[in-house]
Structure 1
Amino acid sequence: MTIALNPSKITGDYFRNRDYAVTAAEVANELRHTVQERDAIAGSPSPEVRCLRAAGLLPLVVPKAYGGTGASWSEAMDIVKALAKTDSSAAQLYGYHLLLSVVPHLIGTAEQTVRYYRDTAQHNHFWANAINTRDLRLTLEADGDGFRASGVKTFCTGAVVADRMICAATQPGNPLPVMFVLPSDRPGLTYNHDWDTLGQRRTASGSFTFESVRVEPAELLGPPPNLESAFPTGLGIGGMLVQSAIFQGIAEGALAAAQAYTRTQARPWETAAVETAAEDPYLLRRYGELWAQLQGAIALTQG
């Protein structure tokens, strides 16, 4: 069973006016109608990625100099939040894509920065990962004039539908993980379809098996131009930024859904002496507490 999405409803015309709020609203509205059904059946999130691509969202943070949209990270996170209000899986796929699309800039060479930014802008590449540096089962060993990656990597969010995936592997004699970029159709890559987490099933965050996957020397990321710079540490910081945007959007969406239910379907407690549930003083107090906590979280993410 498949649930169809209709990317043709998303024109991307509003990008000419840099109206990212309209962009996010149109994509979120298209996702809204089938979010529960899609999560229930799980499967590959190809339709969600097609919607993001149709909206012109994939090169959002690619600098204009390389053909991208050149949006700020604040604008980008607003879109992640908007998606998370209706579809947390799509928000996670997109948030990680944004972060991963700039990783060659963070830790790669100057040549890799130019190459991958231009590829993303010109070909609307969707990025995903097989990083999870706590899982050490993926190894990279020399093989002639290149390398071979073998093993398993968990939490590979979106990699099954990616155009490019960033991987991290251990290497003999190297205490640090080695990171490299692969096309997801490289022979030897197998998605194991072993992800089943409620509300996040459409992120396809299961494991990948690498069976002697060829890695070219030019696909290894780095070293960056300035090894002493703090710039490469932005990967970890960016991950926390993306997660914060996702969680805030989920919280806002949940509160809005609860309010709609209370106003339209909930019945007042029989001893509350009010006509509607929305007038119940106990419910109003609880909603007030939740609203205040959410405002605090919003202030922190916007600070």
Structure 2
Amino acid sequence: MSFNIKSIPYSILELASVSAGSNPAETFKNSLDLAQHAEDLGYTRFWLAEHHNMVSIASSATAVLIGHIAGGTKKIRVGSGGIMLPNHSPLIVAEQFGTLGSLFANRIDLGLGRAPGTDQITAQAIRSDRMQAVYKFPEEVSQIQQYFSAENHSSKVRATVAEGVEVPIYILGSSTDSAHLAAEKGLPYAFASHFAPAQLFDALNIYYNNFRPSAQLKEPYTIACINIIAADTDAAAERISTSLIRMMYGVLTGNIDYMQPPSEMTAELKELSENPAFQRMLKYAFIGSKETVKTKTEEFLQATGVNEIMAVSHIYDHNDRLRSYKLFSEIMNGN
């Protein structure tokens, strides 16, 4: 079967990472600058991820930040990758995204996940009945769909700002659980293969084999996330990637810190990067020159058959990150 990389939409997942020596205000400015560059570079969507109680991630008030990004861009789709629904009331989510959908017509996406996006103590602080909400995730997705329905005008509980507003819903997953739900509801499915690749192929098979067409989607639609660090040479990309290695080490050890500046690839860092836990988590981290990243990306797309690719880049320096995303856009445009 022929394969044309230029036919695949490409997008960005943004965590608003806070670099050492920086602050959230500067991070938000850089996120908007990245979104504006991404728009010019042909990226399809710019999604923001919900995380809490992490000094290195500033996207905790996700809906607010989506409004900031959408307000500073013109055509790129902006959305959540995702809103962690068990942290929230479905009514409030519908009101927030209905408002965004009216302010920025046909540009807002609502990606919904069921993970906490934080540690368990913080999750309890966010919503004391969170575990009940986790089990009710399918029901709460349906509630949001109902709030967005134009037919909800006769209900006793309404999200009036959402009724009839066009905001497509995406189901996010990092295991096979949400694949069943996305297929059953006939919704597009985005998989977090950038940090949880183990069940990617099982989840995709479940989704494709069980998909039921819906009013939103007639055929299956899949997005897969990958880590991208592209630079002018393999050596330059390897050096930039040392920030990612340190960040992931902090995640694995529970010692999360600000994004650290890159350094030379020491023997210790090389050993860390080759640790089995690292290898499992960062199986789909494509690091290198444009040619290297292109080869790995093409292999991934041909192996998975996903409809869209979403890149996330944990890079300390803003200019290095802009360069990486520019090179990736050239790859996806066949240049």
User: Shared fold (TM-score greater than 0.5)?
Assistant: no
TM-score, normalised relative to structure 2 = 0.28
Bigger Rg, structure 1 or 2: 1
